[in-house]
Structure 1
Amino acid sequence: MCIGSGAAGSPSDIKKPSVLLMASNTPFQYRVLRCAAQAGASVFILGSKRAKFLALSRYCKGFVPYPRDFVEEDSTELVCIVNDLIYKLGIDYVIPGCGDTTRLLGEIGSRLHARCFPVPPPSVFDTLNDKSKFASLCLDLGMPHPASVLLAGPAELKSMYDSGQLHFPLIAKPVDAYGSEGVVKLEALSVQVNLDKIDYSPILLQEFVEGEDVCISLFCVQGVCKRQVVYKRKRGISFIEHDSLSDLAQAVARHLNFDGVICFDARLAPDGKSVYLIECNPRFWYNMDFAMVAGVNFVGLGIDPVGHESRAATKKAFSSPYSLALKVFTPWRINAQDVAMFRYWLADPIPFLWIEIWLGLPGLIAGKATRAVRSIKQRFWC
């Protein structure tokens, strides 16, 4: 926190920290914006064309267009632009908004004239962000991880299928995509159709682990976990505790002396005890605003750790916007967490509605349709 001139400790002397958010898009970065604002910061945005809608948020203090994407080839020009904004706007912290800007900030941070949100060096980021390299890291550390093999491309995958080397079910995925982009489940019944969907190279092929998805996110300083949340995603976010997953995640962070936010996707086996690390995202994540409303502000931890280290998010369940809408028909099921999230959404309605309805609804409908078709196939053709 920055302290202005005058009598130390008086409320009028406490200056809000000013942060510059590097934004390459809107949905993901909007969550970072809201968390930074809730931490008490005045948020300015240096954004590409795809991030311009963030300017409509009431929490955006000012939007500065960046004429291109955030890539390292433009780092010299970018450093000059950011340092100029630091001087003109009185910026205290520069924070990333996604994976690309997290890696970029790790590259250029030492050349900026303001403090940066903690991020890993590019070499560590690449080890974790690349799904194949992360699989190798888990193997080296003896971490539970699905058996994996890296294939050159679709031709090699098709050759393995034709020669009978594939044992289903399997998961195929690109090594560097975010979210579930490009992820295809290969099953014996529909493998020929699904093989045609895979048009990227290389391909990480993994055994499919039966069970339930579970995630953990940590804020670390030099490999030491300062705060963490464990959660499941099902019609919203449910925060839980899971000691085994916590131990695994912290072991990886310690091994890499990690700085910043690190998130793991894992799979909880049907016995409820065994857990497998699946992927790692060394960056902020999409549902971080749920954690913030629950009491753990991961952006705040990086710019004002003293003010954001005491509250816990364990054993709280929050509905997604669409699940909460359905609860209108059964209002007795609406809980305090639902009310808190509803207030959070209504506090900045235009960006929220645009992101959830215009951007999010088509994907939600497509996802539900895909799952329905898969369920029908399993029921009538298996």
Structure 2
Amino acid sequence: MEKKLNILLLAGSGALNLKVVYCLNAIDNIKVHICSSTPDNLVKFSRYKDHLFHLPWLEKPESCSEDIKQYCIDNNIKVIIPGDVNATAFLFEHQSNFPAAIFPCCSKDMLDQLDNKWRFAETLVNNHIRTPKTLLLNNKQAVKSITDNISFPIMVKPIYGESWHGVLLMESPRELMQHLESNSQYAQLPLIVQEYIPGIDIDLSFIAKEGQILISDVQRWLNEDELSFEANAEVSQLSKDIVSAFNYSGVGHFDMRLSTTDNRVYVIECNPRFWFSITAAMAQGLNFVEQGINYTLGKPFLSSGAKGCYLLPKKQLKKLLSGQSKLSQLSHAQRHSLTATLFDPLPHLVDLWRK
């Protein structure tokens, strides 16, 4: 019997790390080890792991680096995967200390250049890469200047964030001022103010090494329940230009917008980490985590492969229960994507309870 491959996931972001765990669970003949930076990470409640331990590697990076090194030796870990931005920065900083192969990653400053929406927009402009007009709002007194330089409606968002948290569409200067004066969680300055592009969301997910995209797919939202995986030369070229401009190594996801005004693609922002639709790509034929492991180990890997339309689990389940679809019509990967959450309810129940 072939010996199982030991993989270590550095987990610091619960809900996102669960997606990575589901991708790992779909890979044959591996053992999933998880090192959580906090004792209450949602992955501790998942059934799809072989071993989990906690080390505060954000607070005590040096000593935890040694502990992880020893764990890798004791458990024959072959690949270490960073599950989020902080894990990537930690792994890059201490990679020479670990005996295992390291998933593509980069420095903390490089991550911030991509994750910080203002720094990212500035770099795009400096490299003549198409992006909506973007301004930085530092104080309430600057609202007049902002509104003189950008047309409404506008998008307002925090400098850092994920999953559209705090991203709001503002129709007028008055609405913007009301938001700022609300003193809500997402009204804290500084904020990003960005030109609104009427159109369709279209994104590119990727794994890159030293400025070259190795693995990628393009996804377009057809509606709130359905994704289409398809080729798009303009999206692919824009993404290559960005990755090259940053000389980036790691995983990432570019949010873009296909304008219905001029039919051109605009780059909105970047998430230099795994993304929440990664299991959708897996269901449609491209398991980024699996192919990234293959690349890291020097094995053959798929550079693309996600195709067709993906229904979010809730919509797919409704179709199955209503008889509009049959389980036998789904591929093995689609069935796995659908059942992974159903057979692993505890972390999701805990997440709901915490909210």
Please report the TM-score for the alignment, with normalisation by the length of structure 2. Answer: 0.86
Q: Identity of aligned pairs, percent?
A: 24
- In structure 1, the partner of 2:135 is 149
2:304 equivalent to 1:318: no
Higher helix share: 1
1:174-323 counterparts in 2 under 5 A? 174-188=158-172, 190-195=175-180, 196=182, 197=184, 198-233=186-221, 234=223, 235-270=225-260, 273-305=263-295, 306=299, 308-309=301-302, 312-314=305-307, 316-323=308-315
Structure 1 residues 277 and 347: alpha-carbon distance in aligned structure 2, compared to 1, 3 A threshold? closer
Secondary structure, counterpart of 2:77 in structure 1: coil
- In structure 1, the partner of 2:339 is 346
Q: CA deviation at 1:140?
A: 1.0
2:93 equivalent to 1:110: no
1:85-104 counterparts in 2 under 5 A? 85-104=71-90
Secondary structure, counterpart of 1:132 in structure 2: helix
What is the aligned length? 344
- In structure 2, the partner of 1:63 is 52
- In structure 2, the partner of 1:168 is 152
Secondary structure, counterpart of 1:45 in structure 2: strand
Secondary structure, counterpart of 1:92 in structure 2: strand
Instruction: Tell whether the 8 Å contact from 2:66 to 2:97 is kept in structure 1 after alignment.
Output: no
| Aligned-partner residue type, residue 192 of structure 2 | L
Q: CA deviation at 1:254?
A: 2.0
Q: CA deviation at 1:83?
A: 0.9
**How many angstroms apart in 1 are the aligned matches of 2:37 and 2:252?**
25
- In structure 2, the partner of 1:138 is 124
| Aligned-partner residue type, residue 47 of structure 1 | S
| Structure 2 unmatched runs, 5+ | none
Structure 1 residues 232 and 272: alpha-carbon distance in aligned structure 2, compared to 1, 3 A threshold? farther
Q: Deviations over 1:335-372 (max 9, x none)?
A: 84488534433256343x34556647999xxxxxxxxx
Instruction: Tell whether the 8 Å contact from 1:236 to 1:320 is kept in structure 2 after alignment.
Output: yes
Deviates more, 1:278-287 or 1:107-116: 107-116
Q: Deviations over 1:203-259 (max 9, x none)?
A: 111111111111101122222222211112330322121110100001111222222
Structure 1 residues 360 and 270: alpha-carbon distance in aligned structure 2, compared to 1, 3 A threshold? farther
**How many angstroms apart in 1 are the aligned matches of 2:207 and 2:219?**
15
Instruction: Tell whether the 8 Å contact from 1:128 to 1:282 is kept in structure 2 after alignment.
Output: yes
Larger radius of gyration: 1
Instruction: Tell whether the 8 Å contact from 1:296 to 1:308 is kept in structure 2 after alignment.
Output: no
Structure 1 residues 186 and 22: alpha-carbon distance in aligned structure 2, compared to 1, 3 A threshold? same
Q: Deviations over 1:106-146 (max 9, x none)?
A: 22222223221111222321211111111011101111101
Structure 1 residues 125 and 52: alpha-carbon distance in aligned structure 2, compared to 1, 3 A threshold? closer
Instruction: Tell whether the 8 Å contact from 1:184 to 1:194 is kept in structure 2 after alignment.
Output: no
Structure 1 residues 337 and 104: alpha-carbon distance in aligned structure 2, compared to 1, 3 A threshold? farther
Q: CA deviation at 1:16?
A: 2.5
Q: CA deviation at 1:182?
A: 1.8
**How many angstroms apart in 2 are the aligned matches of 1:348 and 1:88?**
31
**How many angstroms apart in 2 are the aligned matches of 1:237 and 1:205?**
27
| Structure 1 unmatched runs, 5+ | 1-11, 364-382
2:1 equivalent to 1:16: no
**How many angstroms apart in 1 are the aligned matches of 2:283 and 2:7?**
20
Structure 1 residues 90 and 103: alpha-carbon distance in aligned structure 2, compared to 1, 3 A threshold? same
**How many angstroms apart in 2 are the aligned matches of 1:308 and 1:116?**
16
**How many angstroms apart in 2 are the aligned matches of 1:51 and 1:239?**
35
Q: CA RMSD in A?
A: 2.8
Deviates more, 1:139-148 or 1:112-121: 112-121
Structure 1 residues 310 and 158: alpha-carbon distance in aligned structure 2, compared to 1, 3 A threshold? closer
| Aligned-partner residue type, residue 324 of structure 2 | W
Structure 1 residues 111 and 148: alpha-carbon distance in aligned structure 2, compared to 1, 3 A threshold? same
